[in-house]
Structure 1
């Protein structure tokens, strides 16, 4: 593209008078390093001008980007993948937001709903590091209000709150020596998450509305924990003592590896995703061996299937502080929102099926998240801690 053509296209782009075909031409021009630098300089200057559109607000940029990914047409998704292939993620987000100015001009149907619809979101807040620890003797410790340091002893193990959102079980021969090994349970509420280092050194991130039951010290031929909800595991290697995660009558067996298990009762199945190492997922007589990037799905009917080339970034986004949707159903999106914001989700009328894609920080307010969906013509209202989705 020569300089004259670029200048003309840039002028039309910034005046929001570019066609969809021309917008695609913009995207393809980003393959060239020099052209990409010119576009970035022009677009970043545009985004910094709040008087034009307010896109200097990072949350608003994410909202626009999600709106593109949430459209029914598959073309926008293809464009985003093209961008991610050729330019860094941060630069892609800037340019995607600018392209949204073309695809979502002010005054289009549904846009005015953002300003006109009153919402009461004061009771629907983002989640945080909240959990309760139930000790083997029945004592309950609210971890988000407990002071840092040693908070209990269980057998020969000290229970230590390291800092906000982290708990450790550290063996100590001087503490509680001779006591029988018991079990502790870590419980996160809706709107909570927590991280724990188990007695063997394995690290576990527990998502909202989840429960992890584990022994105060591992003994015998294996290390077994029980899970409901969702957790990400980084298992300490010990070939002599395999690690096992039990979810109802399903088991994930490992020696040392990184994997994620999602086992909420309101989800359509139990998904085990392997990031590193190897695991065996077993249910009754059925068993599958996973390799990194694979996912085992145990359906409600008991059927086990395997999926290859899984987007592991999407799977563990919750652990890294993001919602990450990739062709996720509206109901699936709302289940995640309900768990993280501790909100009841309800539906009115007939909701048309649709899929969403995109990424947004879990620290965002529920209003910001819902406005993103509203840009994709998802209507809603908030009543106290209840989010009602409408056609």
Structure 2
């Protein structure tokens, strides 16, 4: 009777065959296995008509990571020598494999983010009362306190009190330039709620991406001396170079000083993480101590303590590319990301998974798909009631 590894091997061959991805050699090997036992062929024929398996394979297409059969092995009951093979269990393994082929377990396994990031399809059937992912939406607070709700569709140009035009384009807001020094500084604030993100181009050409539950306060026109903005939450910056006008980002009790560079700042918690992609930035804390980062470095600042380390830049900006990217991440931190993007309240009952999780999945996936992935990779179970998600390690 086949051992577990043989079953996994042929499950993989069947998956490739069903998806029309098997090579000639693999098809020949599969045919030999099918001829060995009539039940083998019966199994394949039944799988070709199973809606659940097709759904699982479709779900696999939403995930862009390597297979990890260890998860299947851990969750399946081993085959006892001398006992008959449980064919329904094999079928279940194969269906699970279609999902788990897209999941990574353990810190030794991960797939780098594609360059450019792959926009992964979401093709599996919807679940009743499922929750859709976040989208491009925000609120703009003008200098006079008026608020404008922004979506992902192009709308009319917004006018500020000083006559500045703010264009609503498919790529976000674009502020018009001026060569005149403003008599009175006008400030705008762009805010995203949970399940929202947005982009804007400041009057100097600097581009900013705001993640969910974030805000950026900025002047409509920069003064001659400097360019200063205030960030909460998370933002990615592509700063327009200006040798005589430094760009400063104020976040919590620290300042990020740049001349022209690409970087990400995450400040959802007390810890502020600044990740430099290109160029150079200087981190200055409350007592005026300063550290300069090199490309590929990250500064973690908490309670005026600064730690500089090498960064995973792909992970830092994955959200901007439309991807959840996990690499040796804590389960609770992952759920915080999911909660922000799907506008959820998370409730925990009992202990949490202790293993650190790696993997990536499109931020355009529905909530049910993300939770299904996390269930298989961590063993956690989820109960969804409206926008409240209860997490436990038992059914």
TM-score by length of 1: 0.73
| Counterpart residue number, 1:232 | 236
- Give the CA deviation at 1:154: 4.5
| Counterpart residue number, 1:16 | 11
Which 5+ residue runs of structure 1 have no aligned equivalent?
Answer: 1-9, 19-36, 94-118
Contact 1:256–1:277 (CA under 8 A) maintained in structure 2: yes
| Counterpart residue number, 1:326 | 327
- Give the CA deviation at 1:180: 2.3
1:222 paired with 2:217, answer no
Tell me, in whole angstroms, the C-alpha distance in 1 between the residues paired with 2:332 and 2:184: 45
| Counterpart residue number, 2:259 | 255
Shift in CA distance, 62/42, structure 1 to aligned 2, threshold 3 Å: farther
Shift in CA distance, 223/371, structure 1 to aligned 2, threshold 3 Å: same
| Counterpart residue number, 1:60 | 60
Shift in CA distance, 70/366, structure 1 to aligned 2, threshold 3 Å: farther
1:126 paired with 2:129, answer no
Secondary structure in structure 1 of the residue aligned to 2:324: strand
Tell me, in whole angstroms, the C-alpha distance in 2 between the residues paired with 1:89 and 1:182: 37
Which digits, 9 at most, give the CA deviation of each residue in 1:226-279, with x for residues without a partner? 000000000000010000000021000000000000011xx3511000000000
What is the correspondence of 1:366-381 to structure 2 with a 5 Å cutoff?
A: 366-376=367-377, 377-381=379-383
| Counterpart residue number, 2:312 | 311
Which digits, 9 at most, give the CA deviation of each residue in 1:27-70, with x for residues without a partner? xxxxxxxxxx9869859xx9xx8657437845324559488399
Q: Which has the larger radius of gyration?
A: 2
| Counterpart residue number, 2:387 | 385
Equivalent in 284, 296, 300 of residue 297 of structure 1: 300
What RMSD in Å do the two structures reach over aligned CA positions? 3.8
Contact 1:67–1:375 (CA under 8 A) maintained in structure 2: no
Contact 1:186–1:212 (CA under 8 A) maintained in structure 2: yes
Which 5+ residue runs of structure 2 have no aligned equivalent?
Answer: 14-20, 31-46, 75-103, 121-126
Q: How many residue pairs were aligned?
A: 324
1:242 paired with 2:237, answer no
| Counterpart residue number, 2:362 | 361
Contact 1:66–1:372 (CA under 8 A) maintained in structure 2: no
| Counterpart residue number, 2:205 | 201
Contact 1:205–1:319 (CA under 8 A) maintained in structure 2: yes
1:144 paired with 2:139, answer no
- Give the CA deviation at 1:156: 4.9
TM-score by length of 2: 0.72
